[in-house]
Amino acid sequence: MLLTAICTVSDVENIRQNLNILPNNFTIIRDLSLAQQEIKIQIESKPSKQNLYFRIQNILGGLTTGRCIIYCSGPSSCQELFNNLHENLPTVSIGLYHGELDGEQRKIAIRDWKISFGIGINVLDVHLIIHTTIPLSMTNLIQEIGRAEHDGTPSKSIVFYSRNDMRTLFYIIAQKEESLPQENDVTKKHSLIAQHLSWSKDISSEICRTCDNCLSSLSDKPIWKDFSTDVVMLLKITKEILALDIAAIYCKLKRAEEVGLSEIPIYNEPFEHKLRNKINTLFVIDDLCIKGFLISNFQLQKTSTSTGNYSFKPIIIGLGDNTEEEAKNITWQYCFK
């Protein structure tokens, strides 16, 4: 018997194949819905490092009941945040655990965790989960926020989001292609979680009324707008730029230096833009990449041998098959804050 709290359809099939179990000898028992809505999910725009630390200090200072778990992107950021909180919140009991601790340090950290909470690793009174960086995957997010609210007390998950964190994540996961949550997409976050883990016969989730986007939707009543013409225009621009630039660079043509991109025909083509700002435009481009209409790759370059820092550059390398025609047959609706 295998037991797990989180498992997608593809995960189950991989397990079955790796264990060489025939489909007829493989039985699955599970709930029909995973749309658990007890934990309030809140995504905040990530401020500068010092302001982030100050914000976390205020959050912890206002935590009157239960415990908090804070997830960072790596050992160095974990250590730095620990030092900051230890210095500025001397009355708060703070522990540290990350992958670069040696064996003895890990034993001490786990022992202190048990002693502090008076019980085992799966403590019941964790009421707050903080992510200083978006998790590596939706599965990681589900597992990590699931460590809260084991005692039935309403709990909260706060995720600090920044597009700049993408370079950190791609440094860690390199070319893995699992989409990441978007901060300004007015979508039910509990529905995204349920969708990620959903199976064919699962009960669809209604509005959750607990995540920040659902609460704002109830009060602000945002309107979904049709951006179909904008999507087609973005695909046309991508096609034109690639055709011009790749030819000029590959053939070492002089025009690659002399001709500005503003002079290509499509730049001056009359068009009424509905996407009014850079952030929303980048969001739609990201969505096109996730859906396969744009083919993207990522360039990582080491900037320092001493620190191990990398520069990150997203590159759109082409269009998917028949993307323009297929995009014209789809109604592209988005709802922006």
CA angle 221, 35, 334 (to 5 degrees): 35
> What is the structure's pLDDT at 118?
42
What one-character-per-residue DSSP string does 181-215 give? --TTB---HHHHHHHHT--TTPPPP---SSSHHHH
pLDDT of residue 299: 66
pTM: 0.57
R_g (Cα) of the chain, nearest Å: 24
Question: What pLDDT score does 85 carry?
Answer: 93
35-220 CATH pick, 2.102.10.10, 3.40.50.300, 3.40.50.720, 3.40.50.150? 3.40.50.300
pLDDT recorded at residue 123 = 66
Mean pLDDT, contiguous 10-residue spans, the chain (337 residues): 72 84 82 62 88 94 87 88 92 85 81 54 78 81 79 84 67 46 42 50 55 61 80 75 54 63 69 78 80 76 64 72 86 81
pLDDT for 269: 74
**Total number of residues shown for the chain:** 337
The single residue listed with the structure tokens 């699955």 is 28
Residue at token pair 């080491």:
302
CATH class of 225-334: mainly alpha
Question: Please, where are the H alpha helices in the chain?
Answer: 9-18, 49-61, 75-88, 103-117, 138-145, 165-173, 189-196, 212-220, 228-250, 255-258, 278-290, 323-328
Give the pLDDT confidence score for residue 37 in this predicted structure. Answer: 57
So what's the pLDDT on residue 54?
95
Please check whether residue 162 is in contact with residue 102, taking contact to mean a CB–CB distance below 8 angstroms. no
SS3 18: helix
Encoded tokens for 233? 């225009």
- Determine the pLDDT at residue 279: 78
Domain span(s) for CATH 1.10.10 in the chain: 225-334
Looking at the chain, which residues constitute the CATH 3.40.50.300 domain(s)? 35-220
Cα separation, 300 vs 295, in Å, equals: 17
